[in-house]
Homo-oligomer: A and B are copies of this chain.
Amino acid sequence: MKKFRIILLLSLIPMLSFGQLYTRKEIKIPDIPGYLTLKCDLHMHTIFSDGNVWPTVRADEAWREGLDVFAISDHVEYQPHHKDVTTGIGRSYEIAKPRADELGLMIIKAAEITRDMPPGHFNVLFLDSISALDKDDFWEAIQAAVDQDAFIFWNHPGWRQPDEIPIWYDEHTRLFDEGNMHGMEIVNERSYYPLAHQWCLERNITMLGNSDIHDPTGMFVDFAAGQHRAITLVFAEKFTEESVKKALEKGRTAVYYNDMLIGNQEFLKPIFEKSVFIASRSVKLGPGETFNLQVTNHSDVPFMLEAAEGEKDIFYQDNVTLYPGRTSIIRIRSKKIAEPGIHTYTLQYVVSNLLVGVETGLPVELKFKAEITE
C-alpha cells in the first residue's frame, strides 16, 4: 500500500512538464529604486498585417514569457492577408485587449507607419485612432500621430542598408528637428545597431529593443536553449499607461538583447546592484593568503566582469562571469604586508556585456568586509 503511494506521486511528474507550458516565467531583472522595471515588447505583428497569428496569441505569448506590457503594431499600409482578413488593423488591438486584461497585461494601442527607406518604418504608440494614420503622404501620417500625442520611434534603422549599418537621411533630420523622433530601435529582432545606439546617446533619443515578431515566438526563439526575445525595459513609476508613456518620453528605458543589457548607467547600475550579492558568510584570510569570495547573481542576465584599476590593497581575479541564478567564485588574495584587522575592500570591475555606450561596459564595485588574521 505504501509502495503504491510512491508510484502515484511519481506519476504527477509528466503532468508537471505538460502543465508548465501554461505558466508564466518571470524575467528576473529587478525593479530599481523609484521605478518598476517593466518588461515590454512594443513591436509585433498579427494576421491583421503580415503576421501569422491571431491577436490573442500575442497576449498568451507575452504572459508566458514574462512580459508586462506589449503593443501590436500592424502595418497601416501593408496587409498582405487583406483578401481574407477584411477588417482593419485596429482590430488586432480590440481582439487582444480582453485577453490581455484577463492576464493582467497592459496592451498599448499602436501601429507601424511603413515607407521605403528613407525614411523607413516608424512605430507609433498610445493611439486613439489608427485609421487616422492612413495617409498617402508620410508627413501627414506623422502629423496624424503627433495630433494624437503619440510616442513615435524609428524601427530597425539598419533595415535594407548596406551591411545593416543605418544611414541618417534628411528625413530623419526633419523628424528629429520637429521633435518627432522620440525613440529608436537600437535592437530589432536579432540585430543590434551600434550606430543607432550612438545616435540615441548623442541626441538624447529613447532607446528601444523589440522582437518585431511575425511568426509564433516559439518558431523564432529557442526557449529550450534558454533564449528570449529582444525587449525594452521601461522604468515606470507605476503600472499604468500614463507612467509607461512618461518613462518612454523621458528616456527611462534599457534594452535586453541576448545576454546583453544596453542603456544608461543610471538604470543599469542599480539593476546590477540589486542582482548581485556577496554570498560568503564571512571573509577571513591571513596575509598573502587566497580566499574564494562567493558572489550570487539573482538575475537572468550573466555579468561578465573585467577588472578595472582600483583597489590597491588586495589582489583579485581579472575576469569573472557571474552566471544567472548561480553563485560564482572570485579569487582574492591579501597582500603579504596586510595589516591584521577588519578591512573593507572594494573590487572594481567593468561589466563588458552591460553597455552604457557603444563598446563601453558598465563600471561596478563589489564591496565587502574581510578579516585579515595574523
Name A's B-contacting residues (CB within 8 A).
2-3, 5-26, 47-48, 51-54, 56-57, 60-61, 64, 81, 83-87, 91, 95, 102-104, 163-165, 190, 192-195, 215-225, 227, 239, 258-260, 280-281, 292, 294, 296, 302, 304, 321, 323, 325-329, 352-353, 358-359
Contacts and interface: CB of A to CB of B under 8 A. Distances in A.
B18 A190 contact: yes
Contact of A20 (B6, B14, B222, B258): B222
Given A47-B47, A81-B54, A84-B85, A9 B239 contact: no
A47 B218 CA distance: 18
Contact of A8 (B11, B56, B195, B281): B11
Contacts of A195: 2
A79 to B, nearest CB: 12
Given A10-B14, A87-B84, A53 B23 contact: no
A103 B95 CA distance: 32
Nearest to A53: B53
A54 B304 CA distance: 32
Given A26-B296, A86-B84, A87-B84, A219 B60 contact: yes
A200 B163 CA distance: 40
A292 B102 CA distance: 6
Contacts of A190: 18
A227 to B, nearest CB: 7
Contacts of A163: 3
7 contacts: A7-B11, A9-B259, A23-B326, A23-B329, A26-B326, A61-B219, A216-B216
A156 to B, nearest CB: 15
A167 to B, nearest CB: 13
A290 to B, nearest CB: 9
B9 A220 contact: no
Given A19-B323, A23-B328, A9 B260 contact: yes
A21 B17 CA distance: 19
Contacts of A26: 296, 325-327
Contacts of A194: 2, 5-6
A281 B9 contact: no
B192 A259 contact: no
Contacts of A220: 21
A104 B259 contact: no
A50 to B, nearest CB: 10
A192 B102 CA distance: 31
Nearest to A293: B104
A222 B18 contact: yes
A284 B98 CA distance: 14
Nearest to A195: B2
Given A7-B11, A21-B221, 5 more contacts: A3-B163, A9-B258, A16-B323, A24-B294, A26-B296
